Amino acid sequence: MAKVLVSMNAFKGSISTKAATDAVALAFESAGFQVEKVYLADGGDGTTDVVAALGGRVEFVSTFDPLMHPIETPVVWLGQTAVIEMARASGWALIAAEERNPMLTTTWGTGLLIKHAVEHGADRIVLGVGGSATVDGGLGMLAALGFSITDEAGNASWRGGEGLSRLARVVANSPMKQTRLVVASDVTNPLLGLTGAAPVFGPQKGATPDMVTLLEKGLERLADITLQMTGVRLHDMPGAGAAGGVGGAAVAWLGGHLEPGAELFMDLENFDARAVGCAVLVTGEGSIDSQTVYGKAPVRVAQRFRKASPEGLTVAIAGAVRDRAQVREAGIDVFVTTLDRPMSEREAMENGLALLTQAAAELAHLLSLKG
pLDDT at residue number 187: 85
Q: How far is CA 199 from the centre of its chain?
A: 17
Residues 86 and 235 in one domain: yes
Among 227, 261, 295, identify where a domain stops.
261
Angle at 48 between CA 198 and CA 7, to 5 degrees: 85
Residues 195 and 324 in one domain: no
pLDDT tens digits, one per residue of 233-265: 999 999 999 999 999 999 999 999 999 888 888
pLDDT tens digits, one per residue of 303-352: 999 999 999 999 999 999 998 888 898 889 999 999 989 999 889 999 99
Residues 194 and 314 in one domain: no
Tell me the CB-side half-sphere exposure of residue 42, using CA atoms within 13 A.
32
pLDDT tens digits, one per residue of 160-184: 999 999 999 999 998 998 999 999 9
Mean pLDDT over each residue of the chain, to the nearest integer? 94
pLDDT-derived band at 215 (thresholds 50, 70, 90) equals very high
Residues 23 and 114 in one domain: no
pLDDT, average across residues 115-128: 97
Which residues contact residue 158 at a Cβ distance below 8 angstroms, ignoring those fewer than 6 apart? 106, 108, 136, 139, 140, 142, 143, 149
Residues 257 and 297 in one domain: no
pLDDT at residue number 209: 97
Which residues contact residue 79 at a Cβ distance below 8 angstroms, ignoring those fewer than 6 apart? none
User: Which DSSP category does 91 fall into?
Assistant: B
In a domain? residue 328: yes
Whether pLDDT at 125 is above 80: yes
Among 261, 284, 302, identify where a domain stops.
261
CATH code: domain of residue 166: 3.90.1510.10
Residues 83 and 212 in one domain: yes
pLDDT tens digits, one per residue of 55-64: 899 999 999 9
Q: Is 368 helix (H, G, I), strand (E, B) or coil?
A: helix
Residues 13 and 73 in one domain: no
Residues 223 and 309 in one domain: no
Residues 255 and 281 in one domain: no
- CA distance linking residue 164 with residue 91, whole number of Å: 19
In a domain? residue 266: no
Whether pLDDT at 353 is above 90: yes
For residues 127 and 232, is the Cβ–Cβ distance under 8 A? no
pLDDT at residue number 261: 87
Residues 235 and 257 in one domain: yes
pLDDT tens digits, one per residue of 3-32: 999 999 888 778 988 899 999 999 999 999
Among 261, 294, 325, identify where a domain stops.
261
Which residues contact residue 74 at a Cβ distance below 8 angstroms, ignoring those fewer than 6 apart? 48, 52, 58, 59, 60, 61, 85, 88
Whether pLDDT at 371 is above 70: no
C-alpha distances out from residue 283 to 24, 60, 201, 314, Å: 9, 30, 23, 8
For residues 27 and 284, is the Cβ–Cβ distance under 8 A? no
Residues 56 and 32 in one domain: no
Range of the domain at 362: 3-39+276-369
In a domain? residue 73: yes
Please count the structural domains in the chain.
Answer: 2
Whether pLDDT at 135 is above 90: yes
Nearest to 89 by CA among 56, 131, 146: 131
Q: What percent of the chain has pLDDT over 70?
A: 100
pLDDT tens digits, one per residue of 288-315: 988 788 778 899 999 999 999 999 999 9
Nearest to 331 by CA among 348, 306, 309, 296: 306
pLDDT at residue number 12: 79
Whether pLDDT at 45 is above 90: no
Alpha helix (H) ranges present in the chain?
17-30, 47-53, 87-90, 108-119, 139-144, 160-166, 197-201, 209-230, 246-254, 261-268, 271-275, 297-308, 324-330, 345-350, 352-369
Q: Is 37 helix (H, G, I), strand (E, B) or coil?
A: strand
